[in-house]
Amino acid sequence: MLGLMQDWPLLMHTVLDHAAIQHPHRDVVSRSVEGPFHRTDYATIRGRALKVAQRLMKDGIRQGDRVATLAWNTWRHLEAWYGIAGAGAVYHTVNPRLFPEQIAWIMNHAGSRILMLDLTFVPLVQAMADKLPLVERFVILTDAAHMPQTSLRNAVPYEEWLAEADGDFAWVRVEENAAAGICYTSGTTGDPKGVVYSHRSNVIHAMICTQVDAFGLGAADRVMPVVPMFHANGWSLALSAPMVGAALVMPGAKLDGASVHEVIERERVTFSAAVPTVWMMLLQHLEATGARIGSMNRVAIGGSACPPAITRAYQEKYGVRVIHAWGMTELSPVGTLFAVKPEVAHLTGDDMLRLQAKQGTPPYTVEMKITDDDGRELPWDGTTFGRLKVKGPAITRRYFRREEEEVLDENGFFDTGDVATMDENGYMEITDRSKDVIKSGGEWISSITLENAAVGYPGVAEAAVVSMKDAKWDERPLLILVMKPGVLSPNLTQMRDFLADKVAKWWLPDDLVVLDEIPHTATGKILKTRLREMFKDHRPAA
């Protein structure tokens, strides 16, 4: 017997339709790439997104075609995003922080036929245009007045291009499992991999993100996605904010502490989301100027582990609750979020901060387990760590154009490549990437735990731990430090003494080197592959 409910497919543009009907005048404010702030609302965004869809079809774009964007978070990017998916095509958000060769590789692999780009990226794209043979047209996200001289094929200012559509158009009907978007993993090893989101996975994932114990979004919120739409599906905010009628505040290209603060104050932002580096920069700005962020009440921090010092400062000094979150491109991206369950509500002070350093618990739709290398499930005791595996409707099962490659285990779980513990209350803590974990004498040493402990040493700006080959133990930890300007580095003995009460004795690093700079990936993570390459022949002096 089947249920007798209506067949109402979960399509991305139904979210924008809802926002335009229920919250037509809600603010969508952006710092434009051209400079001034720009104000619009959901009703207008919907009208223009319909024009984008209509205009794309006039350019020959059809269902399933990929249309790329290389753009900051602004209202135009938002319209383009919905317009592309609403034409039945597939938005392909490209990360401009990648190397040009990687961008070209990704564009060609995705086969994107049109590229919509911000003014900022015109020089970058112009220099590599001959490597983008599949792109038929470049739409510059600006108006005629700001259009630069460019040799890009069929280049046109977005506003003029859009004006050629009258908006008398209906969304292209696709089924809910049709592809809506594609986002490539940052690829620290090998070629980047294309993760293909469906309309259904995007809508389900956005609904989960709005929950009280997730981002807790509502119509009274003023949401500022600092995390760019090109990073891991923009953490769902371009969907979850309009879904509940929250205002959207788009920060554009300027993401330094002072600029982010200006937008928060000006637009009375209540909720925001970004990687720890952004919140660190804002914190430095607040400390240096004595400024406040009175309208903010919570902030989601993820992408890499959020240091307890950041959590403490935001919560205790600025009254902003920190929602530590973990996820990855393959998970749409949210996998866990930190919220206080009744079982841990009695914790206070440092004990609560210690718990908040964990990445949180999976919401409904994310099944989670940890296993050993042979796939055997490990206990949820908060100390045993193993491979973190996940399953759910917004989690990838294949990569684009690598359909022959199996990425799920025999029970349908996706191996995240992260190593983690789970505790008795279901809180997950990342202890490493599986490639980064140090395998010493058959046991695992968490490089992240060591790094977090080492940055507590006065004057240390950044720490990274990689393995050194060792005849007896196979691998041993090497600690790499960057010091704050003008601060002398500790020697190995001083550092080992400092770490002695923070980690197990056999985890203590066997050597220490100091660099001026640690290499990072395009999304700000430590580039361990490069460090491993740099130190592959390194052996401790003694």
Site residues, ligand AMP (CB under 6 A): 185-186, 232, 302-305, 324-329, 333, 359, 416-418, 430, 433, 523
Q: What are phi and psi of 190, to 5 degrees?
A: 65, -170
DSSP state of 539: -
Block residue for tokens 């952004």: 278
| Residue (41 or 451) nearer to ligand AMP, CB | 451
3-state DSSP call for residue 421? Answer: strand
Block residue for tokens 């229920």: 22
Tell me how far, at minimum, the Cβ of 428 lies from ligand AMP, in Å.
Answer: 10
Which residue(s) pair with 183 in the sheet?
Answer: 195
Tell me how far, at minimum, the Cβ of 20 lies from ligand AMP, in Å.
Answer: 30
- Judge whether 437 and 446 are in contact, CB under 8 Å: yes
| Residue (24 or 519) nearer to ligand AMP, CB | 519
Tell me how far, at minimum, the Cβ of 254 lies from ligand AMP, in Å.
Answer: 22
| Dist CA 180 CA 195 (whole Å) | 11
Q: Verify whether residue 326 is a known catalytic residue.
A: no
Q: Verify whether residue 533 is a known catalytic residue.
A: no
| Dist CA 359 CA 336 (whole Å) | 6
* Selected catalytic residue, list 58, 341, 435, 439: 439
Q: Verify whether residue 131 is a known catalytic residue.
A: no
Tell me how far, at minimum, the Cβ of 327 lies from ligand AMP, in Å.
Answer: 6
Tell me how far, at minimum, the Cβ of 322 lies from ligand AMP, in Å.
Answer: 11
| Residue (88 or 228) nearer to ligand AMP, CB | 228
| Residue (245 or 386) nearer to ligand AMP, CB | 386
| Residue (416 or 440) nearer to ligand AMP, CB | 416
- Judge whether 431 and 448 are in contact, CB under 8 Å: yes
Q: Residue 56 is inside which H or E element, if any?
A: helix 42-58
* Selected catalytic residue, list 176, 267, 330, 475: 330
Q: Verify whether residue 330 is a known catalytic residue.
A: yes
141, 171, 409 from 51: Cα distances, Å: 14, 10, 43
Tell me how far, at minimum, the Cβ of 446 lies from ligand AMP, in Å.
Answer: 11
- Judge whether 363 and 334 are in contact, CB under 8 Å: yes
26, 315, 325, 326 from 356: Cα distances, Å: 33, 11, 10, 12
- Judge whether 135 and 425 are in contact, CB under 8 Å: no
| Residue (198 or 329) nearer to ligand AMP, CB | 329
* Selected catalytic residue, list 14, 34, 105, 444: 444
Amino acid letter, residue 501: D
CA 115, chain centre distance (Å): 22
Instruction: Count the neighbouring beta carbons within 10 Å of the beta carbon of residue 529.
Output: 16
Catalytically active residues are: 185, 330, 439, 444
